[in-house]
Chains A and B, each alone.
Chain A
Amino acid sequence: MSPARVLALLVIWHGVLSLGLFGVGISGLLRAWHALDVVRGAAHAAAVWLAVLSAAAALCIARRAHLGRTLSLVTHYLVFVAALIGLASLLDWFKGLDDLADYAARGTPFLMAFVIVVGYAVRTYERRERPVSPLRRAIGAAVMIAGGVGLALSVGITTALVSWVAKLVAGGWEALGWIGLMIASLFMLRVMWRAPVALWLGARSVFNERLTGWLFLSPNLLGFALFFAGPLLFSLYVSFTNWDAFARRDWVGLENYARVFTIVVQPLATPDQPASEALDIRAYSELFRVHLPGQSFLVGARDRLFWIALGNTLRFGAMAVPLSVVPALLLAVLLNTRLPGMRLYRTLYFIPSIAAVVGVALIWQWMYNSQVGWINYFITSAINAINQVLGTRIPDPQIRWLADSNYALLSVVIMSAWQWIGFNTVLFLAGLQTIPRELYEAATVDGANGRQRFFYITLPMLAPTTLYVLITSTIQALQVFDQVFIISNGTGGPGTSTLTMTLNLYQNGFQSFRQGYASALAWVLFVVIFIFTLFQFRRQRQASGAYDL
């Protein structure tokens, strides 16, 4: 066939594809609009976009522009992915993961996976450059194949195949449509990629590299769009609605944010005047009172819990960040002395940070037990020892760590700091190892003592690392959730003493199902985190000016 005829056929195909996608997309979009179905709407909007892409491809191919090839490849790739997702949901492949879990619960699939790994090791592991004998390769391959077959059987491939065939037959035209689209798009991808058409459209290796780049990035981009960018934008939209996760979703403008931030200050007639007289308690609740000489004020807020959670979170950060950063700096300086055995210590310190926060919280919960816990036992022993040696009579505080609202947050702080120290130590250590030794040597020659070397060399040179550690620790502290959830059983208690911003968000969004309001809380938290990051950056920039060499 002549080039002109092939290209004409391609133009016609793209036109047909475009019209089909456009029709399906628009009709589906209208239906989704009426049903307020966001996911269906987004899917059909994507179909309309694909129709536009396809039409553009048809135009460009007609003009023999290389852009047409790119657009055609992109269109067909996306159509293929969409058809694959359509077929997957028709055959319930995603739900098949649940069945996979059912089979995995019997344990055999894990065993078979292990067999495959063993087979691979037999096939490829070589010692001291001695090549693997053909026999071993054959045995390894056989073991791997056996493991693979066993794995397929143990995850129920036979029942799965039967059910897929049944669903394909039951799916009828829809199934045929998806499969047809997949085959067609694969065929067109091949035609476009291969030599004659590619050359007619003026393909060069640079273009191919670009396309490969986007192709390699596409799984990432798909995840980025579906599970990050899309949800992020949707979250912003939801924060302007009063969504209750079910039927109601009205645009309320800035109402959610107003509810978060509104506070009122009311002068009081007497310092202990009840809040119900000074405030409209249907809308406001008391936050705290300020007693100035001669006049008292009552501060009320529309959402009292937000301010409490904000206060708790800031208090938590203000304690947990220094408590996890300062010891880390000390440990890193000690580890940097390059005595033998330092790697072992570094590894030991790191272990808490890899353990599940839930598990760690359970351990500490037990250690904090007020009657038979280790923490109180250590405190009691220490106080007894001090009293005996010095003859003092310090009373044993017998702190009820997790049940006392004065100590509950502190308990979480100690636990979290313990978990974060090792990580920060490793970061500091890496920063310390970039400081040139010559600086210390020169300072020693000039007669600087250890303290001076620390304050005039180590700290300034470590400033970038310190900044980084502070930022990441602060961000982590502002989002603290798992610890307080486990410790307080999700209540933020005792009282509201461990109610953090994230826990407050969880309670609003998933216990009271005020998802619109919870989204607004999430964006406020995001902005708070962002401000902290910016603030620390700016302070660091000002500070570093003084140390410029």
Chain B
Amino acid sequence: MWYRLLRFLRAAAIYAVLTIFAVIMLFPFLVMVFTSLKTPADTFSYPPRLLPREQVTITLPGYERPLPLHWVRRENSELLPMALVEDNVRVGIFAPLRADGTPDPSRQVMRRFGEVKVAGGETPKTVMLNGVEAPVYLVSVNGEVQEMVVLTRTAVGRFVNPDNPQDVAVANVRLSPPVTRLTARPENYLAVVSLLGFDRALTNTALITLLTVIGQLTTSVLGGYAFARLRFPGRDQLFLVYLGTVMVPFVVLIIPLYQLMVAIGWINSMPALILPWLYTAYGTFLMRQFFITIPREIEEAALIDGASRLTILTRIFLPASVPALATLATFAFLHAWNSFFWPLVVVNTGNTRAQVLTLALNVLRGRAADSPNLILAGAAISIVPPTLIFALAQRYYVESVASSGLKG
């Protein structure tokens, strides 16, 4: 009995920790998706809120524009949604005088100056407050007229009860939270796409990714097969060299590769973004490791039947290596889709023909700094396609990351 309870508690604790981390991992993405659906004003609301909301407005007879609704706290401390008809109304905070001649802030009320009269008629009545002569006003509270002095002057909004247009209230606009409702503005995405050649960047990135994936699969399958199955002198030494190249950081290559692109005139053009990436050491390594597990007997039987090496590769090896191909394709996809440093170097800012998504995002960040909803819509466009690909291939991909430990 105790043992089972303990096991249950342990499982509950494990799930709790895992869920907390899952929330941490997913929260930024939720922020991205929901912010990208917000109105610009909504993005700057504080405290921040996740779901996109918009101000509810109402049209009242006698007013041309739709009026924003706010929650207003009435004098009977009831919260009521009311329409803001006039902002920046000058009001005073009035308080009655105590017996000792000082104002009593606990019984203060707020009134517009148009609503109150100065006490004393022809000769205004005044009292001395803190050494200053202060006028006394006649203020009606719950139908009873009292003499009061002004504590402070401020600017507030004038609100109207939509159900009863005679019911008017004044309140501080900032302290009256706006009435909001859930909303979604998918048109943010259209706005981003039509902005700054983002559509061109999107198709360019798609094309680059497609060609890179096809190219990397081709070279890696051929090379992997040669390393795994064909015997030729120098094979094993060459394979060691290939393994070693994984250790060389890309930054060492970036200047000579840039110079190469300058020399053959590929700066600002698509081939510079595709052709250098058709060969990959880790892809070749991945395919080789997979091919080596395929039993030799099948292949030998086919060879005796007179099949060529290419036939064996396409008819026997490829159908058997869907998991490895899916993994490699996902790697290549992520690499091509997410790459930033290399496009930054070979494509100049302002060039549109060879623009890619990550560069466009970088430009967008600068140009649309005041509308985070657009920036995050752009981020979503760059993040959602890889996530979908990952969702399709994750079964193979995560497994083979686990077994090979390759980093893209």
Contacts and interface: CB of A to CB of B under 8 A. Distances in A.
Contact of B252 (A98, A232, A348, A374): A232
Interface size bucket, A side? 35 or more
A262 to B, nearest CB: 22
A327 B210 CA distance: 35
Given A210-B232, A216-B309, 18 more contacts: A97-B270, A110-B206, A210-B233, A214-B232, A219-B223, A220-B222, A224-B281, A232-B253, A238-B259, A339-B14, A346-B398, A362-B361, A372-B46, A418-B28, A489-B366, A519-B256, A525-B252, A526-B252
A256 B378 CA distance: 41
Nearest to A342: B18
A457 interface: no
Interface string B32-50: 1001000000011111100
A515 interface: yes
Contact of B203 (A107, A422, A426, A522): A107
Contacts of A345: 18, 21-22
Given A350-B398, A479-B249, A97 B274 contact: yes
Contacts of B316: none
B358 interface: yes
A366 interface: yes
Interface string B228-266: 001111010010001001011111111111111011101
A232 B269 contact: no
Contacts, number: 311
B407 interface: yes
A358 B242 CA distance: 29
B17 interface: yes
Contacts of B43: 372
The 3 closest A-B pairs by CB, nearest first: A223-B279, A430-B402, A213-B230
Nearest to A352: B25
A442 interface: no
13 contacts: A105-B204, A213-B235, A214-B232, A226-B260, A232-B248, A334-B14, A345-B18, A345-B21, A349-B22, A351-B25, A352-B28, A366-B376, A423-B401
B24 A418 contact: yes
B79 to A, nearest CB: 23
A421 B183 CA distance: 34
A357 B340 contact: yes
B242 to A, nearest CB: 8
Contacts of A228: 245, 248, 253, 279, 281
Interface stretch (B51-59, B130-138, B154-162, B381-389): B381-389
Interface in A378-400: none
Contacts of A348: 22, 25-26
B286 interface: no
Given A235-B253, A346-B398, A489-B366, A356 B383 contact: yes
Among B252, B263, B334, B341: residue with most chain A CB under 10 A:
B252
A277 interface: no
A530 B246 CA distance: 12
Contact of A502 (B26, B45, B204, B251): B251
B222 A219 contact: yes
B322 to A, nearest CB: 13
A113 B31 CA distance: 34
B379 interface: yes
Interface of A: 37-39, 89, 94-95, 97-98, 100-102, 104-105, 107, 110, 113, 206, 209-214, 216-217, 219-220, 222-224, 226-228, 230-232, 234-235, 238, 245, 327, 330-331, 334-335, 337, 339, 341, 345-352, 354-360, 362-367, 371-374, 377, 418, 421-423, 426-427, 429-430, 468, 472, 475-476, 478-479, 481-482, 485-486, 489, 502, 505-506, 509-510, 515, 518-519, 522-523, 525-526, 529-530, 533
A245 to B, nearest CB: 7
A100 B403 CA distance: 38
B372 interface: yes
A475 B405 CA distance: 14
A105 B203 contact: yes
B219 A219 contact: yes
A367 B15 contact: no
Given A209-B231, A216-B230, A220-B279, A468 B309 contact: no
Given A349-B22, A482-B341, A515 B259 contact: yes
Interface size bucket, B side? 35 or more
Contacts of B345: 506, 510
A231 B250 CA distance: 11
Given A427-B405, A468-B405, A486-B362, A104 B206 contact: yes
Contacts of B242: 224
Given A219-B218, A363-B379, A510-B345, A94 B394 contact: no
B231 A358 contact: no
A422 B264 CA distance: 41
A359 B361 contact: yes
Given A227-B276, A235-B255, A357-B338, A212 B269 contact: no
B344 interface: yes
Contacts of B210: 113
B337 to A, nearest CB: 7
A39 B264 contact: yes
Contacts of B17: 330, 334
A194 to B, nearest CB: 14
B338 to A, nearest CB: 4
Interface in B356-388: 357-358, 361-362, 365-366, 372, 375-376, 378-380, 382-383, 386-387
B260 A39 contact: yes
